[in-house]
Structure 1
C-alpha cells in the first residue's frame, strides 16, 4: 500500500505496516527515520547520488567530487597581501562506502525497484524496516518487541565505521524514542512518535559490530558527540610558499567572534583528503558527516583556517564544513548532522564567548567580500535549504519574538515546513530547470509590495543586471534569524532596509514570515548624506608598525544613505592578523583605535565606522 500526500494519515500508517511486516518495533522505525529525515519525503529533490525518502536510503552511483572551495572565484584565504589561486585539485574516484549504498540492499530485501524506493515513501519506509531487520538478524539479536534489543541494529543503520559515531546516532534515536515527537512533514503528513519513557538500551549489541576506534588526540569537541582528529596538512612548500592554514594563538592574540557554517558541495571522505593536502588552497577546522553526524577536527581553534574568503573573518572565526550539496538541501542535511553540528557549535560558542545569534553564527553566504572586486565571487553555501530555525532550537537558542506588531525591527522567520519559494537551478545537468517545491528558510525581496514586482538589485553581485531566482544567488533574499530595520508596512507586505534599498517581502498576519525583533539600529549621523560600508574592520594606517605594510581600508560599492537604518550586531575590533610566513614567530596582530560596528546590511554582514553613525533603539 503506497502512501499519498493527500491523506494525512498515510505516513503514520506506512510506518505501522512496515514495522509489523518486518517485526521491527514501530518506535524504533520512527526514531531511526526521524534522525535521518524528520520523516520528510523530499519529493523530487534527491539525485542518484544522495539519500532518498523518510529512511534516507542511499544510492550513490558515483562517489567522486571535491569541495566547494574549488568552485567559483573566491580566494578562500581572502587576503590580498598573500593571495591564493582558486584551488583546482579535485579528489580522485573513491570506492563507494556501504553507508552510501543502502538502497541496493533494501531493493534486494523488498523486491522493490530503486525508482520505487526513491519516489514512494511507503516503499521507502518498508526498505528501511527491512534493513533494520536484516541488521538485527546478522547480529544474532532477537526480532523482539523490546526496543532496547534493537540498539545494535540502530547503530548499524547509521552507516558509521567508528564506534563513537554509531553510538552517537543510536543514542540520539533512543533519546527521541524516550521523549517522543510530533511533526508535520514537508508534504503535509502528520506523524507522531509517542514517548516511551522507560525505554532501555542494550548497549552490548554495539560491541558485536566490530567498529573502529579513531584517534581523538585532544579534539575540541563536546564529549556527547563522535569526534576524531584528522589533521589538516601544514608544510613548507617551494618558493617560500606554505599551506594551508596559519598557526595562531587565539584567543590570546585575538578573540574568536564567529562560527562559519559551510557545506562541502561534495562528500565527506574526498573533502577530508583535500584538507589533508597542504597544496590545496583552502582548509577548515571541522567536517561533519551527513549520515550519522560524525565529526572530524582538522585544525585547532587557536589556529586560523583558510575557509571563508575574507581574511578578517577567517582570523576571527572557526569554519565547519557539512557533507552535502546546497541545491539538494535536506536530503543531505540530516537530523543526525544537525544535532551533532548544533552540539559542536554550542560548545565552541560557550568556550569562546560567541553570541548564539545569526550575526555571529553565520553561513559562508553571509561573509562579506573584502573589496568591491571580490564581492561578486563570494560563495553561497549552505544555501536556502539549511534550516536555521531548527538548528538554533537544537542549540538551545530558539528565535523568539521581541516587541509588538509595529516594532521598528523584524527577524526573518518563515515556517520552514510550509515556506517553499520558487527557485531554479537545483539540477546541475539542466541549470535552467525549476526546482521542485522545497522547504526553505528564505524570503524574496521585491522593489514594491506586490508579488509580480521585480526583485531588488545587488550591485556588487550583479553590477550590470538584476537578481536571479537561482538557488545559487542570494542577492534578493533575507534568511531566517537575520534582523532588519523596518522601512514600511502596507497590507500583507513589510519593507526592510537592505543594501541601500527599501525592500518588500510578503508577511501576512495569518502566516507571518517575520517576527518582531526590537533592538539597536544605526543610521548616518546628522549632516551626512551617505556613509561607507566595509567588508572588514581593519585598523587605521597609524596603527601599523614600520615592518608591516598598511592594509587600506577600502569601502565596498554599496551606499548607506541618510534616513536608512540597519540593525546593530555589536562592536567589531579594528584588527589585522599579519601572517605570511610558515613559522609563526613573525605573525602579528595589528590592533587599531578605530571603532567599527557590525551591521546586517544585506544578506551578508558588513561593517561601518562608529564615528559615521548614531545608535538608537528601534
Structure 2
C-alpha cells in the first residue's frame, strides 16, 4: 500500500452533517441513496428486458455484469475505483480523490525503524488519469435518458445503461446488431475502456477474455440481496469469439512514467493463465539514500507470506510513485482495476518495501490493488479479485506458501515491528475486502467444520452477504469481513474499541484462526490480545478447525507472562559474526505480553497430522534473521543467528514469540464433526461420564463428566441409559427408579443439557406404573422412546421438526400381546420401519415391526428361525444397515451371539458367535452396539468396569479384536463403568 489509511470508507464522521456532506460529494443533486428493491426474481427479468430493448444478447449482458460485480448492486455504493451497481458503471470525481489523497499522513514502508533519512516514506498517491473509462455511468445516463442518480441506485437502470453502452460500442467498433455473443468481442473490450479500442498493450482484452470465459462456462448464484441469477453455459460463443488463451503472456509497452534509474531487465514471474507486463520500480540513489527496494537472492524457503494491499491511487499514478526512488516504497505487483491486468515491478527474488515491517518484507511478496480515495467506497472490482487470486495461487505454489489466512494476509495483519510503530500500522485492504470470495478463488478456503470446543481452534468466517451486516460508523449496513469483539457476553467492545472501520483493535477478520477460551450459549470467547474476547455466533459466524495434529503456543511458566515481538531479529552476536552493525534497538519486545494460561494459534508451515510434537516444534520455527544492504547495488546480506521464534496470531495482527519462552500443547478437537461418529454415555464410579469417537478421523474424545443434573430420585439407584442421534445431535434417555428422563448434547460446544422429566404433561406424559426397560431410536426427525411397563411395550414420539410430543401409546395392545409377555426389549430403525426385538417370559425371541409409512404393525416369534439360546440372556441389542438387522445377544457366561435378518429376501440367519470372530479374551457383563459406514461398532463393559470396543467391517467380512478405550490415547482416565449406552451417525 502506498499510503497509511484509505479514509474513503473507513473513517468515523465528526458529525452527522459531516457524514452527509462527505457521502454526498460527487453525487449530483441527491442524498445518500440505496439500491431500489427488485421483485424476488426481478433481476433476471431485468437483464432480459434491457437486452431486448437495446438488441444486445442477454447472455452477453449477464456475462459482462458477472465479471464486473457478480450481479451485485452493492446498495448503490461505489467500489474503490468508482464503479456503481450491477453493471459496474464508473463515476469518479477527480477533484475529490485528489483532495482526500493529499490529506494522508506519511508512513514508513521500509519497516526498519531507522532515522527519517533512511526510511521508506511514501509520497501522496497520484490521482487517476482522467479518461472516458472513469465516466461510463454519465455516458450511459445520456444514452438512456435517465438521471445518473438512477443508474447508481436502480438495478434496472444500471442494466439498461450497460446494454446501451454495449450497443453504442458495437456500432463504434463497426459491428452490427447480432444475436450471437461471439460477434460482440470488440464491444466488450471497449466496455472495459470506456469506449476506447484496445491499445497496443491490449488494455481491455483481458476483461473481454474473462467475459467470454464466463459465457463458455456459465454461472449461477444468488446475490446478497437474495436475487437468483443464472447464465447457461455456451461453449460455442467462447470458441467462435476472438478471445485468446489466457496462457499467452505479453509484455506491454510502458504506460506510466519514464523508467528512472532502472535495474537490469527482469523476467516476468506470472501465472500462465494471465497476461502480464514488467515495469520496474525505481532502483537508484535519492536524498542520500536509495530506493525503492533491496536487491536479494531469495528462494522459496525465504518467502513465507503474500501480503494484500490497496493503493489509494490510480494505476498509472501508483506506478509513477513506485518508479520515483525518492518515495522509497514498492511492491512486487500492481493490479489494474478495470481489467485486472498484472504489472510486475520488483522481481520476486528481491525485497520490496511494502509492509512497514522489515521481517515481513524480507519474507513476503506484496501485491497492490488499484483503488482511489473515494468517499463511501465499499467494495472491490471483480477483476481485481479474479486476477489477484490467480496470481496468489501461482505464487503460493511456486514458493510453497500455505494456502491459508495465516500466510495470505492483509496489510492490516502485519505487526508493528516496534512499539513506536504499532499505532501507525496500516489497515488495508479494510473491512469490505471479501476474504471469503478471495480465498475461494485462491482455492485455500477450508470447508466449514461443525462444532469447536474450548482449547480448540476456531476460524472467523462471517458470511459476506446481507445475512450479516455489522454496524460501521459512516457507512450504511452492508456485508463486512469481521466480527466485533466484546469484553463479556453483552458487554462493551474490548479495550477502547469503536465501530470505526479503521479501528482494527476490536475486530477479528474473516479467515483468521484463534483458540477458543470459553463458550456460553451462543457466545464464544477467544484468546485475543492477552484477554478473553467474546463474539456472538449463531452458527454462521465462525467454524471449527478440527484437523488432527495441530499444536498451540502457551507460556512455559504457569505463573508468568512472556514477551511478544513485532519482528524476528537474531541475537546481537549474530551481527558481530557477520561483520554487520547491531541495530539499536535489536530484539525489542512490544508492550503487549502473552499471559500465562492463554494459548494462541501458531502459523504452521508444515502439514497437520504430525504425530510427533517434537517434530512439529522444530519444523515450524522461524529463524531469527534480518538483512543488511546499506548502499545502492548492495545485495542483501542475511544475518542469521541461533535465536528462534514462532509466529502466532495474537490479535488482529500477527506477532512473534521466542521458542525459549513457550511450549506446544495439542489443540483440542471436536469429534462431532462430519464422519463416522459414536457417542458413549456411562455411569461410573466418578459419576456420569461422556466420551465419543470419530472413526473417520481416528480420534477419541476423552472421558468427561456430564454437566447435567442427576435425575435419580433415590440415592444409589442404578441408572440405565440409551442413546440416539437426531439431526446429527446425540439425545439420551435415562431410566432411573422406574422413571424416564431425557437430555441432549450440543455438538458445537460438547456440553450436555440438564435432564428433564420425560413423564410430564407437554412431553410424553405420565406412565401408569414404573418402567423396567427403555430404549430410544430415531426415524427421520422424530425420536421414538420405547419403554417396558408391566411387561408391555409403550411408545412416545418427539417430533423435532414440529417441536411437539406424541404421548404414550400401548404398542402391545396393537400387537395383541398379553400383559407381562416381555422381560427385555431393544429396537432399531430401517427406513420408515421400526423393529422391536424382545425376550419373552418364555425365553423366546419376539419381533414386532411397525411400518410408519403404511401405518401398520406386524408381530412374530422368530426363535424357530434363529435358534434357541443355550444360556441365560444378560443383554440384548440390535442395529440395522441397509435391508439388514443385526440382533446381538450377550449371555451370562460372557459369550456374544449374532442373528441377522435380511428384509430384502425375508429370511433370518441363525445365531453365530461374535466372541469367536473377535478372538474373545474379554468377559463382558453389558453390551451396546451401533452401525456406521460399513462397520458394526460393538462396545461392552467387563466385569471390572472397563469399556471395550471391537469393530466388524461387514464390507470386508472381518472383525478387530477388543480394545480397552479407557487407556491413555483413547478415551483415557480408566473410570469403572456401571452402565453403557452408545449411538452412531455418519
**TM-score, normalised via structure 2 length:** 0.57
1:535 pairs with one of 558, 566, 587: 566
Query: Aligned pair 1:12/2:44, yes or no?
Result: yes
Alpha-carbon deviation of 1:87? 3.6
Aligned twin of 2:282: 233
Alpha-carbon deviation of 1:47? 8.1
After superposition, give the CA deviation of every residue in 1:85-110 in whole Å (9 maximum; x if it has no partner): 57463356664122112123212211
After superposition, give the CA deviation of every residue in 1:212-246 in whole Å (9 maximum; x if it has no partner): 9436962111132131111111112243x111211
Aligned twin of 1:446: 486
Query: For residues 216 and 102 of structure 2, what CA distance do their matches in structure 1 show?
Result: 41
Aligned twin of 1:513: 542
Query: Aligned pair 1:594/2:643, yes or no?
Result: yes
> Is the Cα contact below 8 Å between 1:184 and 1:190 reproduced in 2?
yes
After superposition, give the CA deviation of every residue in 1:532-571 in whole Å (9 maximum; x if it has no partner): 1111111112212253122421111112111111011133
Alpha-carbon deviation of 1:442? 0.6
Alpha-carbon deviation of 1:66? 9.9
Aligned twin of 2:444: 397
Alpha-carbon deviation of 1:117? 1.1
Q: Kindly tell me: are residues 280 and 354 of structure 1, through their superposed partners in 2, closer, same or farther at Cα, counting changes over 3 Å?
A: same
2:509 pairs with one of 476, 479, 485: 479
Alpha-carbon deviation of 1:513? 3.5
> Is the Cα contact below 8 Å between 2:329 and 2:354 reproduced in 1?
yes
Alpha-carbon deviation of 1:201? 4.0
Greater RCO (Cα-Cα under 8 Å, separation 6 or more): 1
Q: Secondary structure at the match of 1:27?
A: helix
Greater mean alpha carbon deviation, residues 587-596 or residues 59-68? 59-68
Alpha-carbon deviation of 1:162? 5.7
Query: For residues 348 and 103 of structure 2, what CA distance do their matches in structure 1 show?
Result: 23
The within-5 A match list for 1:119-518 is: 119-159=153-193, 161=199, 163-204=201-242, 213-214=252-253, 218-239=267-288, 241-251=289-299, 255-324=302-371, 333-402=380-449, 404-406=451-453, 408-418=456-466, 419-424=468-473, 434-450=474-490, 453-457=491-495, 466-509=496-539, 511-518=540-547
Greater mean alpha carbon deviation, residues 469-478 or residues 173-182? 173-182
> Is the Cα contact below 8 Å between 1:66 and 1:271 reproduced in 2?
no
2:53 pairs with one of 21, 24, 32: 21
Query: For residues 295 and 158 of structure 2, what CA distance do their matches in structure 1 show?
Result: 48
2:133 pairs with one of 86, 99, 105: 99
Q: Kindly tell me: are residues 355 and 507 of structure 1, through their superposed partners in 2, closer, same or farther at Cα, counting changes over 3 Å?
A: same
1:77 pairs with one of 110, 132, 136: 110
Query: For residues 328 and 481 of structure 1, what CA distance do their matches in structure 2 show?
Result: 27
Alpha-carbon deviation of 1:80? 2.2
Query: For residues 148 and 331 of structure 1, what CA distance do their matches in structure 2 show?
Result: 33
> Is the Cα contact below 8 Å between 1:284 and 1:298 reproduced in 2?
yes
Q: Kindly tell me: are residues 386 and 495 of structure 1, through their superposed partners in 2, closer, same or farther at Cα, counting changes over 3 Å?
A: same
> Is the Cα contact below 8 Å between 2:356 and 2:416 reproduced in 1?
yes
Alpha-carbon deviation of 1:416? 0.6
> Is the Cα contact below 8 Å between 1:293 and 1:339 reproduced in 2?
yes
Between Structure 1 and Structure 2, which shows a larger proportion of strand residues?
Answer: 2
Q: CA RMSD in A?
A: 2.7
Query: For residues 53 and 277 of structure 1, what CA distance do their matches in structure 2 show?
Result: 36
Q: Kindly tell me: are residues 422 and 332 of structure 1, through their superposed partners in 2, closer, same or farther at Cα, counting changes over 3 Å?
A: closer
Q: Secondary structure at the match of 1:374?
A: helix
> Is the Cα contact below 8 Å between 1:492 and 1:506 reproduced in 2?
yes
2:123 pairs with one of 89, 92, 96: 89
Query: For residues 449 and 25 of structure 1, what CA distance do their matches in structure 2 show?
Result: 53
Query: For residues 363 and 266 of structure 2, what CA distance do their matches in structure 1 show?
Result: 24
Flag the structure with larger Rg: 2
Query: For residues 399 and 475 of structure 1, what CA distance do their matches in structure 2 show?
Result: 25
After superposition, give the CA deviation of every residue in 1:232-265 in whole Å (9 maximum; x if it has no partner): 11112243x111211111128x611111100112
Aligned twin of 2:958: none
Query: Aligned pair 1:568/2:602, yes or no?
Result: yes
> Is the Cα contact below 8 Å between 1:259 and 1:319 reproduced in 2?
yes
Query: For residues 35 and 307 of structure 2, what CA distance do their matches in structure 1 show?
Result: 39
- Number of positions where the alignment pairs a residue of Structure 1 with one of Structure 2: 590
Alpha-carbon deviation of 1:309? 0.5
After superposition, give the CA deviation of every residue in 1:181-211 in whole Å (9 maximum; x if it has no partner): 22222333222222224433444499xxxx9
After superposition, give the CA deviation of every residue in 1:142-187 in whole Å (9 maximum; x if it has no partner): 3211121122222221226465442321222222222222222233
Q: Unmatched 5+ residue regions in structure 2?
A: 1-33, 245-249, 255-264, 605-620, 668-986
Alpha-carbon deviation of 1:365? 0.3
Q: Secondary structure at the match of 1:319?
A: strand
> Is the Cα contact below 8 Å between 1:52 and 1:331 reproduced in 2?
no
> Is the Cα contact below 8 Å between 2:108 and 2:122 reproduced in 1?
no
After superposition, give the CA deviation of every residue in 1:1-38 in whole Å (9 maximum; x if it has no partner): x9842622121111111111111111111111111111
Query: For residues 94 and 263 of structure 1, what CA distance do their matches in structure 2 show?
Result: 14
> Is the Cα contact below 8 Å between 2:411 and 2:427 reproduced in 1?
yes
Q: Kindly tell me: are residues 527 and 213 of structure 1, through their superposed partners in 2, closer, same or farther at Cα, counting changes over 3 Å?
A: closer
Q: Secondary structure at the match of 2:644?
A: strand
Q: Kindly tell me: are residues 213 and 24 of structure 1, through their superposed partners in 2, closer, same or farther at Cα, counting changes over 3 Å?
A: same
Query: For residues 7 and 171 of structure 1, what CA distance do their matches in structure 2 show?
Result: 32
> Is the Cα contact below 8 Å between 1:263 and 1:326 reproduced in 2?
no
> Is the Cα contact below 8 Å between 2:119 and 2:328 reproduced in 1?
yes
Alpha-carbon deviation of 1:379? 0.6
Q: Unmatched 5+ residue regions in structure 1?
A: 425-433, 458-465
Query: For residues 130 and 169 of structure 2, what CA distance do their matches in structure 1 show?
Result: 20
> Is the Cα contact below 8 Å between 1:65 and 1:270 reproduced in 2?
no
> Is the Cα contact below 8 Å between 2:80 and 2:377 reproduced in 1?
no
Greater mean alpha carbon deviation, residues 319-328 or residues 179-188? 319-328
Query: For residues 629 and 357 of structure 2, what CA distance do their matches in structure 1 show?
Result: 14
Greater mean alpha carbon deviation, residues 515-524 or residues 111-120? 515-524
Q: Secondary structure at the match of 2:566?
A: coil
> Is the Cα contact below 8 Å between 1:365 and 1:380 reproduced in 2?
yes
2:68 pairs with one of 16, 36, 43: 36
Alpha-carbon deviation of 1:409? 1.0
Aligned twin of 1:430: none
Q: Kindly tell me: are residues 149 and 296 of structure 1, through their superposed partners in 2, closer, same or farther at Cα, counting changes over 3 Å?
A: same
Greater mean alpha carbon deviation, residues 155-164 or residues 241-250? 155-164
Query: For residues 415 and 226 of structure 1, what CA distance do their matches in structure 2 show?
Result: 32
Query: For residues 328 and 111 of structure 1, what CA distance do their matches in structure 2 show?
Result: 26
Q: Kindly tell me: are residues 173 and 615 of structure 1, through their superposed partners in 2, closer, same or farther at Cα, counting changes over 3 Å?
A: same
Query: For residues 53 and 136 of structure 1, what CA distance do their matches in structure 2 show?
Result: 22
2:87 pairs with one of 52, 55, 58: 55
Query: For residues 128 and 369 of structure 2, what CA distance do their matches in structure 1 show?
Result: 19
> Is the Cα contact below 8 Å between 2:558 and 2:597 reproduced in 1?
no
Q: Secondary structure at the match of 2:325?
A: coil
Q: Kindly tell me: are residues 389 and 490 of structure 1, through their superposed partners in 2, closer, same or farther at Cα, counting changes over 3 Å?
A: same
Query: For residues 327 and 525 of structure 1, what CA distance do their matches in structure 2 show?
Result: 48
> Is the Cα contact below 8 Å between 2:76 and 2:85 reproduced in 1?
no
1:607 pairs with one of 649, 652, 656: 656
Query: For residues 489 and 611 of structure 1, what CA distance do their matches in structure 2 show?
Result: 31
> Is the Cα contact below 8 Å between 1:325 and 1:332 reproduced in 2?
no
